[in-house]
Amino acid sequence: MRNLAVELGRMLLTAIGLPFSLLHRSVRSIGERSQAAKRARFDTTQWTLDLLRHLEWRRFEELCAAYFEALGFTTSVTRSRPDGSADIAMRVEGADAATVLARCKSWSPYPIGIKPLQELFAAMAPAGVGEAVLITSGRFTQPAAEFAAKHKIELIDGARLLTEFAGLAPEKALALLKLATDGDFLTPTCPCCSIKMVSRKSTDEGRAFWGCENYPRCQLIFSSTAHVPA
């Protein structure tokens, strides 16, 4: 699926003998300016739930890992899952192996249900841990909370996470805020290619979506409202 404007531009540049790379840089520059304007509307000097919910999924994972480090854990991040998202293994000082496994779910308009918790619980034994944490910038369903309580999984939703940040030493809380808001924290990262995606529109319906910059080699897309891997 290609952006109609890009295709027309390619044809025009080809006709007049200019390289398509010029158009590609122009489109990317327009997208970067648009994202910069969106970032400017956020007050990045303090934590708010709105800011937390707008962090793209990869940045949210990085924030969570840094938060655990601020608590005194040593973390190990792996990305062996099919959707590219992270497993964060946590080890307390002096321990030879990880004791807690964490996963993250950035904001979604829908509450987090049981399925991600079942997947996390299934990963606990292979990871050799007896406890787990699932963090979201959104919220959880009641059945999810009941499942977590039975299987030694701690749930941290967006509101609680902000409370946790407020309880840190001021310099640690500020360091997390700077990490979260550095550069482009809004544009989703392609899970396959680990690069920022590009805002596009379908040629048939004009539907907005995020596409990988490496298209057509990488054809992964998110909806325009997506904050997490599909």
92-104: average pLDDT: 93
Q: Is the pLDDT score of 158 beyond 60?
A: yes
| Lateral strand order in the sheet of 131-136 | 74-78, 87-91, 100-105, 131-136, 153-156
**Which residues have CB under 8 Å from 136's CB, separation 6+?**
104, 105, 106, 107, 108, 112, 156, 157, 158
113-124: average pLDDT: 97
CA distance 228 to 226: 6
Task: From 184, 156, 155, 190, select the one nearest 83 (Cα to Cα).
Answer: 190
By 3-state DSSP, what share of the chain in percent is helix, strand and coil, each rounded to 5?
A: 45, 20, 40
8-58 pLDDT, tens digit each:
444 433 444 444 444 444 445 544 555 555 666 788 999 999 999 999 999
169 DSSP assignment? -
pLDDT of residue 220: 87
Q: Is the pLDDT score of 202 beyond 50?
A: yes
Q: Is the pLDDT score of 230 beyond 70?
A: no
Mean pLDDT of the chain: 84
Q: Is the pLDDT score of 76 beyond 90?
A: yes
pTM confidence score: 0.79
pLDDT of residue 78: 93
Q: Is the pLDDT score of 84 beyond 90?
A: no
Where is 101: in which H helix or E strand?
strand 100-105
Model confidence band, residue 224 (pLDDT cutoffs 50, 70, 90): low
Share of the chain above pLDDT 70, in %: 80
132-156: average pLDDT: 98
Q: Which stretch of 29-38, 69-78, 184-193 has the lowest confidence by average pLDDT?
A: 29-38
pLDDT of residue 35: 55
Q: Is the pLDDT score of 186 beyond 70?
A: yes
Angle at 181 between CA 117 and CA 166, to 5 degrees: 65
97-123: average pLDDT: 95
